[in-house]
Copies of this chain bind each other. A is one copy, B any other.
Amino acid sequence: MLDERSTITLNDVARRAGVSPMTVSNVINGTRNVRPATRQRVLDAIAQTGYRVNPLARSLAGGHNRMISVFTPKLNRPYAAEVVQGAAEAAERLNYDLVVMMLSPNSTSDFSMMSRLSVGALLIQPSRQAPWFSADLPPHVVSVDGPSAHPLTVDNYGGACSAMQHLLTLGHTRIGFISGLEAEPDIQNVSTSNAPYERNDAHERFRGYRESLARAGLPLLPDYVQHGDFTKGSGERAAKTLLRLPVPPTALFVSGDAMALGALHTAQDLGLKVPGEVSIVGFDDLPMATASRPGLTTVRQPLLHMGEVAVQILAALESGTEVPPPAPFPTELIVRESTARP
């Protein structure tokens, strides 16, 4: 109720309770045994003064905060939002505090501040060339869709194959592909290394397309491959190009839901029936995949679950447990209404 403005310190509490600062610290952190009576006096003093620890001071002095930071690019991208939501739920369950920072190229000072306050970090789509990549990070780091000490990967290749298998089984032989490679400036560098986490998502999906085609004995037509940047707009452009070909594909495998929706709408706007005249398969299964008519057939990535696992790993790491590199998360083909026989 009272709005004490001048900061109350641990010493104030100690004085009020008639004990030493150390005892107060111990009560707060449960570091050592404290006689119940003393403990209660301290608790009362805390309540009466409205004392709250200063996390800065605690960290500076070597203490630990139960905080996990999430570093992500733009948050209004559904991909990130889903992962963060999953992480938040796990964090709450495990009694960690989750804070999210959106990284901009310039800010580094407060970024490193959050780093120092945190026991671990979850990096969402980090890129090696980001300035903060080399900056100081918390003791433990897990990443999603990008490199780190503990990268979480998805079976993008397998997912792409299942999407292609679905279309091939339906009887499609002219299948176009829209990649997300336009959004991957790292392409050059990646090829120099073959550490598992360097296989980025966009590449793996393309590989699934190529190899599925080959296995089915179908040719890889350069005209049938377009590149987008995961945005709806780029999907629209790519689809327009593909569907206006002299011999257009009867099916499109699009490596992101937003782009797939763009393709779907483009097809409809071109007067083509989906799935009657064109079938479309997406990738991700973002919430928006159900927001279209027809509903989008797509490959689900367990984004919420990945967020949860990321936090669980961080928690394990902090408790000293060895954590083996987790197996790639499986994907699942979700068949809705945007696919049919040619």
Contacts and interface: CB of A to CB of B under 8 A. Distances in A.
Interface of A: 1, 50, 52-57, 59-60, 65-67, 74-76, 78, 81-82, 84-85, 88, 92, 95, 97-102, 104, 106-107, 109-114, 116-117, 134, 136, 232, 261, 265, 268, 287-288, 290-293
Counting every copy of the chain, the complex holds: 2
B54 A56 contact: no
A101 B102 contact: no
A76 to B, nearest CB: 4
Q: Which of A54, A56, A107, A265: most chain B CB closer than 10 A?
A: A56
Given A113-B97, A265-B293, A76 B65 contact: no
Contacts of A287: 76
Contacts of A56: 56, 59-60, 113, 116-117
Contact of A92 (B57, B106, B265, B290): B106
A207 to B, nearest CB: 29
Contacts of A54: 60, 116
24 contacts: A1-B134, A52-B113, A53-B113, A55-B109, A55-B110, A55-B113, A65-B113, A67-B110, A75-B85, A75-B88, A76-B84, A88-B104, A92-B104, A92-B106, A92-B107, A95-B107, A97-B113, A99-B100, A99-B101, A100-B100, A261-B291, A291-B291, A292-B292, A293-B293
